[in-house]
């Protein structure tokens, strides 16, 4: 399986007609996305993601508050576990992933 495969339409032909298979995933996490092979890396099965994002611009005080909340309730620690599995380059030092799977 690869991203190419994940993007293919799937139909089942029956005696009563054709059925289209439509599936969804409810995660936004990039780690669940399928990939095509390349540069010596094999294809990875997964989702065909509909890529979108939302950005909030906050002042320094709110930014620090969000970081503190994330650390206190364990989001930051959970993100660190995910980063050991797959790494993604941070968009900038002022970018902070909050409540992201």
pLDDT of residue 91: 67
6 has a pLDDT exceeding 50: yes
Both 48 and 64 in a single domain? no
Reported as a single tens digit per residue, the pLDDT across 43-89 is: 989 888 877 778 889 999 999 999 899 889 988 888 777 666 655 56
**Domain range enclosing 65:** 53-101
CA angle 89, 68, 57 (to 5 degrees): 60
Residue 100 pLDDT grade (very low, low, confident, very high; cuts 50, 70, 90): low
Both 99 and 67 in a single domain? yes
Both 43 and 61 in a single domain? no
């Amino acid at each position: 399986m690869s991203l190419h495969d994940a993007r293919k339409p799937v139909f089942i032909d029956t005696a009563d007609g054709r059925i289209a298979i439509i599936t969804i995933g409810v995660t936004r996490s990039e780690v669940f996305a399928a990939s095509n092979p390349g540069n010596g890396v094999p294809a990875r099965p997964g989702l065909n993601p509909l890529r979108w994002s939302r950005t909030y611009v906050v002042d320094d005080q709110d930014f620090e508050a969000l970081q503190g909340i994330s650390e206190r309730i364990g989001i930051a620690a959970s993100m660190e576990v995910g980063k050991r599995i797959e790494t993604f380059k941070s968009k900038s030092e002022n970018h902070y992933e909050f409540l992201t799977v």
